Structure formats: structure tokens, C-alpha cells
């Protein structure tokens, strides 16, 4: 009896305590430090994996893969994901395409495995593009994969899980300022400033409040991406961008790009479809590029870049200190076009042999020699030769440190190549190379040289190629 009374006493005391002090709150998710107030060391730590990674897969996927570049039997010019605007398709009519968006052949594990096989270290997929369609389960709209399509499964969550299984980082692209399906979202001014359908009428600020802000919160809390890839900054004043920027705090370590607007620079510059002549001083940057002429799938766009061009782009970009985000545009069935798969596997074969000359390297201390590009690591230079010298001699001028050994990266035995320096020009090294280039696309020669590969910027030239 006595023990029963003391148990009751303790219990009522506990209830009293809860009433007075309130129930212990669920642990608040760790709030990320605002990148604007980070120290350089904190920023370097947050960016480290990204700077090491160098190569990622961009995926543009959505309802626009159904018309696939054709509307009313007419081929619509321009990039595929813009077909709704390019053809001024009315909202109701465009929404009907979603009934045919049923990616039964979608295999997120195969996509992630392909990215990995290509040598890519991260994936960035369109969670919502300008057409406003959410590929994830969104509670704030019925214009998403759950409510508007026969497929009814979260496409983004599935790919995030598959990517993580492959040890890849995962990112979400989100079109915050252009939304051609939610009222007020189409005010971007790309057309005559206000949309082309009465259903576009509405306040842009209301669109941000009701759709963009809650959806970004959904993406950050449910998908927990490592990267948030904003796109396009139109109409984004500092006041409009601030609540979106504030959401970054929900995702410690998150990396964002420079396309939020409102003077938020984010972490990375994003040159598009181009490779800058020289990198960006003191800024991380990433060139995003299509493999043909469209981001979103167009059934008849067969203007594919060659594998050689893609590998040389990668070497070029990395030699200037950048990352390469290479795009695929899957079909509405959920397949990555065969031409993309073939090229990614070929790039992957090259990366298997030459990845050391890409991952974790820094920009060339030599600028770019005429015959190729150069990447660096402490004590090592990687000479990426595009045009193999016909006379078997490769020259590098401006070397301040001594080359202790040179060898072909593709040579498993790392047999030493003969290196000579002319007494008259001690900073010019000449490397004797085999007549046949080890690789038809890019052949890498490794130069081991003193602790830090010092270079005096000077034009390097190849002997007689």
C-alpha cells in the first residue's frame, strides 16, 4: 500500500513539473550557421567535398518530357523544358500532359550507378522546374507527381536514397522565381511580363509565400539535399529572397549556387553552356552543360557532343579550378537517352585511368599550354595532352621547380620518361614521349616535382606538333 502511495506521489510530481515547465521539446534539428557569417575555415570545411568532387550529373526531368519538344505536331524551337512558354501552352492543356507522365521504367539505382560509373561524385536533379511541377510529394499543391500523374511515387526521394547508397552527394534544383502553373508565378517577364493564361493572374509575393517558400522547406527537411541549386533570380528583391535564404539554416553543410537573386551570392558561380577563359578569382564555380542542345528531353535532338569533347571539357574546366555539372534529360518513361548513357560510360572508362588527375586537384599554375591543360596537386603536375606531339617531344616552359620524375598516368608501371632541361633555359623541361598517345581523347603525363610545383607564368609550347 505504502509503495503504491509513494509511486502515485512521484507521478503527480512529474505531471506537475510538466505542467509548470512544459513537455521536453523534441530536439530542434541542428541549425546551420548562416554562410554569410562563416569564417574562411568553416567555409573551406563545408566546401571541401565539393572541391574534391569536380564532376557531377545534372538531371532535367519532368512533365515536359511528355511533349518532348513537339506540340500540336509541330517541333518547338528552344530548350525542351521551356516548351510550355515557347509554345504558349495554356495551363489546363499543359496539365493534361501529366496524365501521360508515368515513368514505369524509372530505376533510380541504375541512374545513380551510371553517375558513379561515369566518375561523377554528385547528382543535382530538378525537384521543380519553371513549369511548376514538383517531382516530389508536396503538401502545398496538387501539381506534383503524387496528385497529377498516374505514377504517384516521390521520384526525388527515391533518387536521393539511390545516390546515397552509391556514396554520391545529392542536390536539388528548384525554380524559385518562375512557375508557369501556380497563380502569380509566371510574372518573370520572359514573355510580355505576366503570363499567357488567365490562370497565371495573381500576386508574385503570394506565389512565393504559398508555394516556393513551403516547398523549399519541404525539400530541405524531407529530402535533406547536400546542394540547393536555385534558378532564375528574376524579380527576386532582397526582401523576397531573404525568407528563402533563411531556410538554408535547416540544412547544415548545404551548398547553394548564385541564382537565388536579391544580392545573395551563394557559394558557387554557375557559367552555363560555356567554359570561362580563366576561372573565377576567389570564387568556387561550376560550368553546367548539356550533352546535346537541350536540358529537358526532346525526342529529335540528336546533336550530341562527342565523348572526346566531354573529356576535354572536364580537363579544361578542372584546369581552371572549376567543377563540371553535365546534364542528362530522361524520357517520360524514366530512361536516360542511350546516347547519353554511352558517352557517360566512355567518360567513366577514362576517369578510371585518369581520375587522379581530376579529383582533388587545383588549377594550373601555368595557364593553359597550346597542346592541352594542366592540373596540380602538391608536388605533382598533371599534363593533359590533347594534341600528342608528332616529334615525340613535349615542352613545358616556366618551371621553377625541378622535375624529379615523369611518367604516363596510364602506365601501371609508371616507367620514367626522359626529362631534359636545356642549360640555356633551365625553366624549360622537355619530356620524351612515346610516338603513340596512350589515349585518343586526353593522355595524361605526371610530373613529380619538388614539394610545390612552382611555375613562372610563361607560354608553354610543344616542340613541332
Least gap, CB of 462 to ligand GLC (angstroms): 35
Contact 461, 403 (CB under 8 A): no
CB of 244 or CB of 444, closer to ligand GLC: 244
Residue 463 has φ and ψ, to the nearest 5°, of -75, 110
Q: Count CA within 13 A, CB hemisphere, residue 280.
A: 15
Binding track, positions 32-71, relative to ligand GLC; x by CB under 6 A: ----------------------------x-----------
Size of the site for ligand GLC (CB under 6 A): 9
Would you say 178 or 430 has its CB closer to ligand GLC? Answer: 178
Residue number with CB closer to ligand GLC (149 or 287): 287
Cβ nearer to ligand GLC, comparing 294 with 319: 294
- Contact of 377 with 364, CB cutoff 8 Å: no
Q: How far is the CB of 245 from ligand GLC (least distance, A)?
A: 19
Mapped onto helix, strand or coil, the DSSP state of residue 408 is strand
Query: Hey, what's the cell of 53?
Result: 568532387
Q: Contact with ligand GLC (CB under 6 A): which of 86, 102, 232, 427?
A: 232
How many C-beta atoms lie closer than 10 Å to residue 271's C-beta? Answer: 16
Contacts of 90 (CB under 8 A, 6+ apart): 196, 197, 199
CB of 405 to ligand GLC, least distance (A): 42
Instruction: Name which of 82 and 151 has its Cβ closer to ligand GLC.
Output: 82
d(CA 401, CA 420): 13
For residues 288 to 307, the per-residue mask of contacts with ligand GLC, x marking binding by CB under 6 A and - elsewhere, is x------x------------
Q: Least distance to ligand GLC from the beta carbon of 270, Å?
A: 7
Cα–Cα dist 380/101, whole Å? 50
Q: 403-408 and 443-449 as β-strands: parallel, antiparallel, unpaired?
A: antiparallel
CB of 288 to ligand GLC, least distance (A): 5
Closer residue to ligand GLC, CB minimum distance, 172 or 433 = 172
> Which residue matches cell numbers 572536364?
314
CB of 196 to ligand GLC, least distance (A): 17
| Binding letters toward ligand GLC, positions 261-290, x by CB under 6 A | -----------x---------------x--
* Whole-number Å distance between alpha carbons of 225 and 177: 20
Residue 372 vs residues 52, 259, 350, 356, 402: alpha-carbon distances, Å: 22, 32, 16, 17, 21
Binding residues for ligand GLC restricted to 165-224, rule: CB under 6 A? none
Residue nearer to ligand GLC on the CB measure, 266 or 398: 266
Nearer Cβ to ligand GLC, position 127 or 319? 127
- CA proximity to 389, closest of 427, 445, 436: 436
Could you tell me which residues are beta bridge partners of residue 170?
123
* Grid cell listed for 144: 506534383
Task: From 182, 262, 259, select the one nearest 228 (Cα to Cα).
Answer: 259
Cα–Cα dist 109/127, whole Å: 18
CA angle 422, 423, 426 (to 5 degrees): 75
Cβ atoms of 173 and 231 closer than 8 Å = yes
CB of 273 to ligand GLC, least distance (A): 8
Q: How far is the CB of 153 from ligand GLC (least distance, A)?
A: 23
Q: Which is nearer to ligand GLC, 81 or 267 (CB)?
A: 81
- Minimum CB–partner distance for residue 296 and ligand GLC (Å): 7
Q: Which is nearer to ligand GLC, 79 or 357 (CB)?
A: 79
Bridge-partner residues for 409, per DSSP? none
* Minimum CB distance to ligand GLC smaller for 226 or for 231: 231
Q: Which residue bears the cell 567543377?
A: 323
Minimum Å gap between C-beta 272 and ligand GLC is 5
- Considering the complex, state which of residue 290 and residue 364 has its C-beta at the smaller distance from ligand GLC: 290
Site for ligand GLC in 368-427 (CB under 6 A): none
φ, ψ at 400 (rounded to 5°): -100, -20
Least distance from C-beta 57 to ligand GLC, angstroms? Answer: 13
Of the candidate residues 144, 197, 226, 231, the single one contacting ligand GLC (CB under 6 A): 231
Residue 317 CA to residue 323 CA, distance in Å, equals: 6
Binding mask 67-96 for ligand GLC (x = CB under 6 A): ------------x-xx--------------
Q: Does 366 bind ligand GLC (CB under 6 A)?
A: no
Site residues for ligand GLC per CB under 6 A:
60, 79, 81-82, 231-232, 272, 288, 295
Amino acid at each position: 500500500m505504502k509503495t503504491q502511495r509513494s509511486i502515485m506521489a512521484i507521478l503527480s510530481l512529474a505531471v506537475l513539473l510538466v505542467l509548470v515547465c512544459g513537455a521536453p521539446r523534441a530536439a530542434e534539428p541542428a541549425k546551420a550557421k548562416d554562410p554569410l557569417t562563416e569564417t574562411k575555415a568553416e567555409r573551406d570545411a563545408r566546401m571541401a567535398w565539393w572541391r574534391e568532387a569536380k564532376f557531377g550529373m545534372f538531371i532535367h526531368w519532368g512533365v515536359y518530357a511528355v511533349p518532348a519538344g513537339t506540340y500540336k505536331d509541330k517541333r518547338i524551337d528552344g530548350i525542351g523544358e521551356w516548351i510550355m512558354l515557347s509554345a504558349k501552352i495554356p495551363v489546363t492543356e499543359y496539365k493534361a500532359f501529366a496524365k501521360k507522365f508515368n515513368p514505369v521504367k524509372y530505376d533510380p539505382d541504375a541512374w545513380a550507378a551510371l553517375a558513379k560509373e561515369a566518375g561523377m561524385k554528385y547528382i543535382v536533379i530538378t525537384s521543380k522546374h519553371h513549369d511548376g511541377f514538383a517531382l516530389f510529394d508536396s503538401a502545398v499543391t496538387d501539381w506534383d507527381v503524387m496528385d497529377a500523374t498516374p505514377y504517384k511515387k516521390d521520384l526525388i526521394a527515391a533518387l536521393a536514397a539511390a545516390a546515397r547508397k552509391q556514396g554520391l552527394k545529392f542536390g536539388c534544383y528548384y525554380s524559385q522565381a518562375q512557375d508557369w502553373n501556380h497563380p502569380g508565378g509566371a510574372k518573370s517577364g520572359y514573355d510580355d511580363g505576366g503570363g499567357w493564361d488567365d490562370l497565371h493572374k495573381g500576386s508574385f509575393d503570394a506565389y512565393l509565400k504559398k508555394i516556393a517558400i513551403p516547398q523549399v522547406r519541404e525539400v530541405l527537411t524531407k529530402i535533406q539535399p547536400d546542394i540547393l541549386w536555385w534558378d532564375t533570380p528574376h524579380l527576386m528583391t532582397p526582401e523576397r529572397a531573404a525568407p528563402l535564404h533563411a531556410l538554408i539554416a535547416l540544412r547544415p553543410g548545404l551548398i547553394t549556387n548564385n541564382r537565388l537573386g536579391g544580392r545573395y551570392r551563394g557559394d558557387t558561380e554557375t557559367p552555363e553552356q560555356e567554359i570561362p577563359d580563366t576561372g573565377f578569382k576567389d570564387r568556387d564555380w561550376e560550368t553546367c552543360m548539356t550533352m546535346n542542345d537541350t536540358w529537358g528531353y526532346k525526342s529529335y535532338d540528336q546533336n550530341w557532343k562527342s565523348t572526346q569533347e566531354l573529356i576535354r571539357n572536364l580537363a579544361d574546366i578542372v584546369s581552371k579550378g572549376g567543377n563540371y555539372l553535365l546534364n542528362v534529360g530522361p524520357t517520360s518513361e524514366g530512361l536516360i537517352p542511350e546516347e547519353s548513357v554511352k558517352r557517360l560510360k566512355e567518360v567513366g572508362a577514362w576517369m578510371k585511368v585518369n581520375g587522379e588527375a581530376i579529383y582533388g586537384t587545383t588549377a594550373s599554375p601555368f595557364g593553359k599550354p597550346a597542346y592541352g591543360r594542366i592540373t596540380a596537386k602538391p608536388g605533382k603536375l598533371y599534363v593533359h595532352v590533347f594534341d600528342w606531339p608528332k616529334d615525340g617531344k613535349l615542352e613545358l616552359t616556366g618551371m621553377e621547380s625541378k622535375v624529379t620524375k615523369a611518367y604516363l598516368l596510364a602506365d601501371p608501371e609508371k616507367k620514367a620518361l626522359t626529362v631534359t632541361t636545356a642549360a640555356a633555359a633551365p625553366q624549360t623541361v622537355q619530356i620524351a614521349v612515346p610516338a603513340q598517345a596512350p589515349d585518343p581523347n586526353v593522355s595524361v603525363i605526371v610530373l613529380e616535382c619538388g614539394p610545390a610545383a612552382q611555375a613562372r607564368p610563361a607560354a608553354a609550347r610543344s616542340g613541332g606538333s
